[in-house]
Amino acid sequence: MVIFLVVEFSKEISKIDLIGIIVGHIIFGFALTQLLDWSWLKNLMSEEDKEKILKGYNWKDLIVDIAIISVVLGLLFLIISAFI
Instruction: Give the chain's domain count.
Output: 1
**pTM for the whole structure:** 0.42
- Tell me which DSSP letter residue 43 carries: G
Range of the domain at 72: 2-83
Length of the chain: 84
One DSSP character per residue, 17-42 reads: HHHHHHHHHHHHHHHHHHHS--GGGG
From CA 29, how far away is CA 33, in angstroms rounded? 6
Q: Per-residue confidence of the chain (84 residues) as pLDDT tens digits?
A: 455 455 565 566 777 888 888 899 999 988 888 888 777 777 788 888 888 888 888 888 889 999 999 999 999 888 888 776
Contact 9, 81 (CB under 8 A): no
**Which of helix, strand or coil describes residue 66?**
helix
